[in-house]
Amino acid sequence: MTEEQSSKGERIAKVMARAGLCSRREAERWIEEGRVQVNGETLLSPALAVSDDHSVVVDGKPLPARDLVRVWRFHKPVGVLTTARDPEGRETIYDVLPRDMPRVMPVGRLDINSEGLLLLTNDGELKRQLELPQNGQKRRYRVRVHGRVSEAALASLKKGVTVEGVRYGPIEAFIQKQTGANSWLIFTLTEGKNREIRNVCGHLGLQVNRLIRQVYGDFSLGAIPKGGLVEVTQQQLFAAAGVGLKPKESWAKPKRKFIKPKQKPRPRVRDADAANSDSRDSRAKTGKPGATSNVKKGHSSANSWRKTSRPKT
């Protein structure tokens, strides 16, 4: 099957990733290995767009229907690898996650000595969009370093820095607190290159002895304990989906915001006595029931409510 035969639809690798089978790169590798068939023909190139009219089979099984997009916040502990398997037999995130978890993929990575927020999703396309640097997903880290550092040195990182031939983009950093020989720093960046914070700190003469990711995009670690897992609600996911994805019908729609209508300004009143007097006079002129004037001859309006006294004989 050629690409001309299917000019409409989405790329096959993208469709496979959204079905939760694998990432885009893995899908392309599976296709090159001859594991994917479209309309009964083995696919040899990922340069093909497919639609709902096509029959896609992977490893002899029909492509599953696209699942509901889901995201989890996971507190990755130190000593755990962000990978599916390790040749050395070290513990991975999949050894820590619950047994009944569906197939999920990590968004970005945290090295074995780092801890904190790690997003997990069953949607390969969402994973890719959250990872792309051009989408500007901010990552915030709380970092403990050995050594003293000046605010001026951290401020210089706003323009980016080159370390051993690798160019790192703008980084916002400031000192949170300094205790003895250690300092707690806050780093905010959007690229997230491999070991970026550790390399930049080394460039400043600092040694990182603890690194905690607190925020990734619109998602935060919060109070999740180490090894804990919390699923993001569909409302939160919909609100945070400004990453190039079209809203899904299966996502919960955001609540409508009701704006209180503006009230008409009240007329200015000269004073309370004058306002009450004018109101009673206007009701008396209308002739409506209950609109008779309470003002009696020879008495002021202020004393009209009092009973008149009989003159002495």
Phi, psi of 280 (to 5 degrees): -70, -40
Which of 86, 100, 111, 278 is catalytic? The answer is 111
Q: Which two tokens stand for residue 256?
A: 């409508």
Long-range contacts of 132-136 (CB under 8 A, 24+ apart): 133/169, 133/190, 133/191, 133/192, 135/243, 135/244, 136/190
What's the one-letter identity of residue 253?
K
Estimate to the nearest angstrom the gap between the alpha carbon of 87 and the chain centroid. Answer: 34
Burial class (CB in 10 A: 0-12, 13-18, 19+), 12: buried
d(CA 296, CA 304): 6
DSSP label at 81? B
278 is catalytic: no
The catalytic residues are: 111
